[in-house]
Amino acid sequence: MRVVLAEDLFLLRDGLVRMLEAYGFEIAAAVESGPELARALTELEPDVAVVDVRLPPTHTDEGLQCALRARQDRPGLPVLVLSQHVEQLYARELLADGSGGVGYLLKDRVFDAEQFVDAVRRVAAGGTAMDPQVIQQLLSRQAAGDRPLAQLTPRELEVMELMAQGRSNAAIAGQLVVTERAIAKHTSNIFAKLGLEVSDDDNRRVLAVLAYLDRER
């Protein structure tokens, strides 16, 4: 699996390269600026891009904007964004096209190698990998002013948070120490309350929930 990596801090970039290579990834390019990232995504056509939000020369949202433009040119290009902090606007912008293959992780997660590599693989396969803190903030903001989401029970909110991280019913059941049948019932209730079509496809159901959360951008 070929990866384009964009991170301006040398030590972190070098560490990510070593980590990904240790897990069998091929690093097609490891760059430190927005212009370099734009060229790499266009010329190398990687299987997945791992991108820091803030890159030179602007040090604002250069990395994210490069990734969004690349997804416009190549719809569905898998992109995993790294950020130092939870920035809801960036998370929503990344999710806006609803085409899958997206992730948003805080850099703290990079220090858990297996969790990080699992997220890269999930995004590369067209799935979703959202940091729990990002999901919590999206949910809390939406619940404050949106009646349908406010109708969800605390347990249903827990289930939806784990769904949004890309977890299957079996994985959610294991996390919450309940039966898979109980989780299936919770997900059915969630979709009914949100007016969303029930689906057994993990990626589609996650994207449906995130699209709902994103509709008030």
The C-alpha angle 211, 97, 40, rounded to 5 degrees, equals 140
- 216 band by pLDDT with thresholds 50, 70 and 90: very low
pLDDT of residue 136 exceeding 80: no
pLDDT number for residue 217: 44
Q: Are residues 150 and 194 in contact, defined by beta-carbon separation less than 8 angstroms?
A: no
pLDDT for 114 beyond 60: yes
In residues, how long is the chain?
Answer: 217
**Predicted confidence (pLDDT) per residue in 1-56, tens digit:** 999 999 999 999 999 999 999 999 999 999 999 999 999 999 999 999 999 999 99
Residue 135 has pLDDT above 80, yes or no: no
CB 91 within 8 A of CB 134: yes
| Tens-place pLDDT, residues 144-171 | 555 566 788 889 888 887 887 777 889 8
CB 32 within 8 A of CB 56: yes
pLDDT tens string 56-111: 999 988 998 998 899 888 988 999 999 887 776 777 777 776 667 888 898 887 88
Confidence bin at 207 (pLDDT 50/70/90): low
DSSP conformation letters of 106-130: EGGGGGSHHHHHHHHHHHHTT-EEE
Q: pLDDT higher for 21 or 134?
A: 21
Q: Which domains does the chain have, with CATH numbers?
A: 2-130 (3.40.50.2300), 134-214 (1.10.10.10)
pTM for the whole structure: 0.73
